[in-house]
Structure 1
């Protein structure tokens, strides 16, 4: 299997072979690192294996142990400090040790992740992607895990710099046009997500207002029924938006499938938009 359900690679073998200069560069990388980066099936499968290994590491026992130790250490430290002990240093030392162990666990996970990212296959593939971009070959996306990007702004293993050569490239195969439904999905995919919470807040606020009106015999407070109506409208709007997003996501997935087939035929697949990239990630 490839690194995602659609089989869409960052760049396909046909795109790598379309420019003789790029093909030469990729062959040089392959000889250096000992892998054939023109074999799409093997590349996709190997990427999937490395990504799965990194996912297991990020969700493994060390992470759970570090998280548990962090929670225990913080609670223990607060409890020890708030008790006004006679010797503060003695009181906070045990929880501080627990927190130090938690930090050590996270550091170990980070080091293991960095070692995995330095695997020769991944090192070479980052060079392939850098060369493809420099030669003007369309790279549909650069997997965040491949460069070690998590919550931090900087990549742990960024693509290497590669000097762009002079000249251009061309291809006789055109990518499929983007349907209007997919463009609409890209516009609204990240909208919403707050309707349920806002609806509940408005309904509860309205109910409290009505309750206050009844208890205090304050007719003006009955106007808070408008908050309930607004909360219901918010829920309804969120439901309609969510339903439309689900409908359009099906069109977007079909478009990703078309891109995969086009890439296999040698068509350039340009960088995906963030909504499409996120949708691709959910299909792993």
Structure 2
């Protein structure tokens, strides 16, 4: 495994084997799907290969061609219609065909991605993660790409519901370990910079828009005051000042987030090395999960 944040496993073999009932369920999934989910090196390699394959599908040449074709087809169609041709059907036929081909290409990419998500190894691993969560094992994260989660919350391949094997005891959820105590290797201490990153990573995103809106509104007010000779409207200059302050605050926050993100990535690298040495990594916070999922 390479030293990259994405190489951090959602759950390690030591965590799976810590509970005999969970270990038995994982071995059963391994027999069903034909993979050894206790082999951390092999699991990490397979996850990386499937992630890369899905990334190629999502960003490959067909997607670019379909995007360009759809844009060109739509522009062509609008030009043909607005040009008021004598034979409308003949004029719109070529761009309509181009749009249809673009849609067909997008559908093919979508189906290809769905097919890849249904690979037996990934199907089995989703069952493994579902079992680990049901037993309260420390699952660091569930990869967004593994469940087909895009920009929204809908998942194309969610984790399946887990039920105990017939005749076996029901899983008992245990508190997830947050320290890694009792493992072969200790977890690294979380730096204060990483804790700060987790605290402020979700902030921002609105400063630029709000700043420019305030500046624009203030400038419009000052212009109105000058043109219409309404001295009171010059008070709109305060909006300009507020907009500049908002924009600067957002810029500083963004710069600070980027500085702290470097420390957060180093920390995830340390967790990766600790896991490779046998430590059990606890559930990651949402900002750290985004770092792990940032490649796709």
TM-score of the superposition, structure 1-length normalised? 0.85
Shift of the 140–3 alpha-carbon distance from structure 1 to 2, 3 Å rule, reads: farther
Work out which of the residue numbers 205, 224, 246 in structure 2 matches 1:234: 246
Map 1:166-245 onto structure 2 (within 5 A): 166-167=171-172, 172-173=182-183, 182-245=194-257
Counterpart CA distance in 1 for 2:225 and 2:174 is 73
Counterpart CA distance in 1 for 2:107 and 2:73 is 17
| Partner residue, 2:288 | 276
Deviation at residue 143 of structure 1 after TM alignment: 1.1
Shift of the 208–151 alpha-carbon distance from structure 1 to 2, 3 Å rule, reads: closer
| Partner residue, 1:20 | 20
Describe the SS at the equivalent of 2:7: coil
Describe the SS at the equivalent of 1:36: coil
Structure 1 contact 210–222 (Cα < 8 Å) conserved:
yes
Instruction: Render the CA deviation track for 1:212-234: whole Å, top value 9, x for unaligned.
Output: 44444443232222122112211
Describe the SS at the equivalent of 1:107: helix
Structure 1 contact 81–88 (Cα < 8 Å) conserved:
yes
| Partner residue, 2:64 | 64
What is the RMSD of the two structures over their aligned residues, measured on CA atoms? Answer: 2.9
Shift of the 78–249 alpha-carbon distance from structure 1 to 2, 3 Å rule, reads: same
Instruction: Using the TM superposition, name which of 173-182 and 234-243 deviates more.
Output: 173-182
Deviation at residue 238 of structure 1 after TM alignment: 1.3
Map 1:1-284 onto structure 2 (within 5 A): 1=1, 4-5=4-5, 7-151=7-151, 153-164=153-164, 165-167=170-172, 172-173=182-183, 182-264=194-276, 266-282=278-294
Describe the SS at the equivalent of 1:139: coil
The gaps in structure 1 that reach 5 residues or longer are none
Shift of the 239–150 alpha-carbon distance from structure 1 to 2, 3 Å rule, reads: closer
Counterpart CA distance in 2 for 1:267 and 1:136 is 16
| Partner residue, 2:167 | none
Instruction: Using the TM superposition, name which of 211-220 and 189-198 deviates more.
Output: 211-220
The gaps in structure 2 that reach 5 residues or longer are 165-169, 176-180
Counterpart CA distance in 2 for 1:220 and 1:190 is 39
Counterpart CA distance in 1 for 2:195 and 2:276 is 23
Structure 1 contact 10–141 (Cα < 8 Å) conserved:
yes
Instruction: Using the TM superposition, name which of 62-71 and 75-84 deviates more.
Output: 75-84
Counterpart CA distance in 2 for 1:119 and 1:3 is 26
Counterpart CA distance in 2 for 1:269 and 1:280 is 13
Structure 1 contact 3–48 (Cα < 8 Å) conserved:
no
